[in-house]
Amino acid sequence: MFELTDQPIDSAALRARLERPDAGACVVFEGWVRNHHAGQPVTKLEYEAFDQMARLEGEAITSEAEQEHPGCTVLCVHRTGSLPVGELAVWIGVASAHRHAAFLACRQVIEEIKRRLPVWKKEHHPGGAAEWVNCTTEATAGWLSPENYYARQVSLPEVGAAGQAKLAAASVLVVGVGGLGCPAALYLATAGVGRLTLADAGKVEMSNLHRQVLFTADDVGAAKATAAAARLRAQNPLVKIEAHAADVTPANVRALVAGRSAVLDCTDNFATRFLLHDACRFAGVPLVSAAVYRFEGELNVFRPNAVGCLHCLWAGRAAGELEAVANCAGAPVFGPAVGVLGVMQAAETLKLILGLATTGDGQTTRLVNLLDFSMQGIARSGDPSCPVCGNPISAPSRCADLPDSAPVVLSAEQLAALGPVQILALLEPGETLDAVTAPAGAIALPMYDLVGIRERAAHVLTVLVCRHGLRSAALARLFRAEGLGKIYALAGTLPAIRAHTTAN
């Protein structure tokens, strides 16, 4: 709840409004008018707000805090008008079952109010002098200015002011806020990545604390994404930190990945790794992936158009099969090992944003061993039989009864053996389907009409085709992950799909 008022704030009455039988804590912040600011004496303040805009933004801020800290009730009241020294200007109260959640929610509202609320204040000084101050710019003034915060980083020739501007404009998704995700997110936030989203459905456990450095013992039981976001906002109030306290699934992965400068795979299971890999490849977003076991780890940068993808590394192995033999969840782990790999993920991501060379230019697997401090790079060459970035392998000639677990990409021979199928020709902007040379009965659809593709493929055996064969394969894998078992992609290029030509 958020309110603007031109009347004196009654803190006792506001606190009474927050009383709940199940609340074990009430955290209150009071902002008073002081008699000085920036080294000058102050006699009084005048507050003026864009009324409707301020109310909408204030309500959004308090609602966000309640969503990110479940069980908290938030009330914020901001004064307008003329206020003498000692008067209450801002009152924020949070009621919760536990004090720690209330502290975090209250701090979040304080910081967001300073940054986002469209309120101006006029400072009156002795002798009649006065000046208007935009409260939203005060949060980034003085000691908290970007010039001060990033000064040592900007002084690097490889970064500079232009590079820092690239970081500020970047948007990064970190999936998994554990041993890898905590240090990775910390260094991305403090480097000045403008928008950072943390995705994790888990809650903090005591066994996490020896390696997941964003959490304290007080955070046990809290949602990882929410607790980590609160810590990072306190570490760098200049950037936007978002918490997605839920799993990444086939239903939401494309929305989470779309428009990102990079995605970090900090997970511990193969199902999510393959899901992120295919979604990033389809969306044209670089993926920075790491995994750790005991004292060793590996780092990969997957560029969307490069060969040597995740499917090449685990050729012919399904995610479910790999979970049984190579899942890192619950395995023994050396805390500094995940710390080192997480920091390396952050470094590779920052280099991607800045346009600097990454590990092997995205085609090298980097192996790290903290027992002997060795590091080794292994070329990640493409597998010619990879169904995603190479030429798919040939398969049995008879496949009319392929199970849902069958390979997603089919050869022309396999397609012929299927018998009657629906063929969807997926077109990029500027492409057309030649009806003469196209497969019989092929239906042309825009590549990005995901709803239309899904509806047509819901109940009919369907094969996706595209001009180069890559995006149709990635899209078929994503739809297969969503539960469309009878959807496939045709291997290789389809000459019948042609780009428009224009006469000069």
Q: Which residues form the catalytic set?
A: 328
Count of other CB atoms within 10 angstroms of residue 204: 24
- CA pair distance 210, 113, nearest whole angstrom: 34
Contact by Cβ (8 Å): 130, 313: no
β-sheet bridge partners, residue 174: 198, 264
Dist CA 333 CA 485 (whole Å) = 37
Per the CB < 8 A criterion, the answer to whether 353 and 262 are in contact is: yes
DSSP assignment, residue 394?
Answer: P
With beta carbons less than 8 A apart as the criterion, state whether 120 and 135 touch: yes
Cα–Cα distance, 213 to 296 (Å, whole number): 19
Separation between Cα atoms, residue 55 and residue 62, nearest integer Å? 11
Give CA–CA dist 364/439, Å, rounded.
Answer: 39
Radius of gyration of the CA atoms of the chain, in A: 27
Cβ atoms of 52 and 93 within 8 Å: the answer is no
3-state helix, strand, coil in the chain (%, to 5): 35, 25, 40
CB 142 within 8 A of CB 37: no
Q: How far apart are the first and last CA of the chain?
A: 61
Q: Which of 125, 71, 110, 88 is nearest to 12 (CA)?
A: 88
For residue 372, the tally of other CB atoms under 10 A from its CB is 7
Neighbour tally for 471: CB within 10 Å: 19
Describe the crossing of helices 181-191 and 224-235 by its angle, rounded to 10 degrees: 30
Q: Hey, how many other C-beta atoms are within 10 angstroms of the C-beta on 263?
A: 29
d(CA 390, CA 313): 12
Distance, CA of 11 to CA of 20 (rounded, Å): 17
